Every structure is written in C-alpha cells, then in structure tokens.
Amino acid sequence: MTHIETQGRQRDRLPSKAQINAISDIESLENLKEDIERRIVRIETDLDFRDATEEWEGRAISALSVHRYTAKAIEKRIHGLKKSSGKISMTQERVDCHDLTWEIIDGVYDDLNPETVKEIDEWIEAIDTAMDALEADKADEMTKAEPFRDLVWISKASSAARRVKAVRHNLMTKKNLINKAIKEKERLAREEVRERMFIDACREMLSKETYAALWDRVDRQLINAA
C-alpha cells in the first residue's frame, strides 16, 4: 500500500490487491473506484497547475501511476464479479490490463531517441514503471484457469517485455557514452585552463628574453613538425 501528499493534505492509503479481491460487493467496488479516480484527477490537476520542486513532481508522478494501477485492479475485480454472475458473456472476454502495459505492447517505447542524460533517465524511469505494470498484469493472466487464460496476449506481453528490455539496455549504453564524453570534455577543459595558467606563470617568473626564447623554440618545433 502507498500514500501521497497533495496540496498539503495526507491522502488515505490505497487498498492492496488482496484487499480488493476480498471485496465481493460490486457497488462497494464501484464506489471505491470512483473515489480513487477523484484522487487521480486531483493529482493530475496539481501536476498541471502547482509550482513545485522536481522532487515533489517525481513523487506525484509515481503516486499517479500507482493510483491508476489500483483503479485498474478494481475495474478488473468488478469485471470478474460481473462475468461470474453471468452479466458478461464469454464472447465479450478481453484481457483487461493497465494502460502502461498496453503502451509497451503497442510499441510506445520502441523508437526512443533521447539526446541528454536527463531525457534518458526520464525514459528509463517510465519504462521501469510500465514494466512493473506489465509483469503484474502478466502474472494475473497466468493465474487464470483454462479456458480464461489468454495465451495469445501472454505471448504478446512476453515479446513486448523482451523488446523494451533491449530498449532499456540501449538507453543505458547511450547514457554511459554521453557521460564518458562529458567527462572527457571536462578533462580537456581543465587541461586547457592548466596550460593557460602555466603560461601566465612563466610570463611572470621568467625574464622577457627567456620567455621570448621559449616561444621561439616552440615555433621552430611546430615548423619542423609540419
């Protein structure tokens, strides 16, 4: 279970999956889902209009994902209860999973091309959150008894998971290369500053004749090297 603070108010804790599955009254589940959806709207509004720190925004985005996932879990529980009571025919059965899971399956993360470390980190965080949702949905589908288990969807989810893991690996590789390039650029900049400081020190400490003679020697070496 988790909880967040928005607009300075402490929110109620979200129900766990076990607690959701323990509820068999559809009306109670629908009321609970409506309450969580209202919280989702409040968090989204805070993110859109509140002038907050990056740390707060990170917590809010994480909480938003958890709230959406909880609402989806409640929706699945309602769907299951209605189906078992005969209100939904078997021909209407469809894998009902988290929106982030569908993002992975639909290839939202397949063609990413971030340019900065910050962008890469943001995409990696988004992928990790989506993968958590996919693995949870996949586990739910696997626990269903035949013939309710959708093997086609499970295959698609597994294939999508492998794809996005490869994308994540490529992002990490690109991040390491960018960081290496940044460090090399910083090293060269430090060397340049050090050399300028050395030249300034020579100008101050050596006589004009000696200083000029050193530059003449460097010029001759450059000419000979060419």
Residue 102, Cβ neighbours under 10 Å: how many?
17
pLDDT digits (tens, 9 = 90+) for 96-155: 788 888 889 888 898 888 989 999 999 999 999 999 999 988 888 888 777 777 788 888
Instruction: Report how far residue 100's alpha carbon sits from residue 107's, in angstroms, rounded to the nearest whole number.
Output: 11
Distances (CA, A) of 47 to 4, 130, 133: 13, 19, 22
pTM of the predicted structure, to 2 decimals: 0.49
pLDDT digits (tens, 9 = 90+) for 55-73: 888 888 888 888 888 888 8
Average pLDDT over every residue of 45-64: 80
φ/ψ of 9, rounded to 5, equals: -110, 140
Whether the per-residue pLDDT at 26 is higher than 50: the answer is yes
Across all residues in the chain, what is the average pLDDT? 82
Average pLDDT over every residue of 170-192: 93
The domain ranges of the chain are 1-93, 98-226
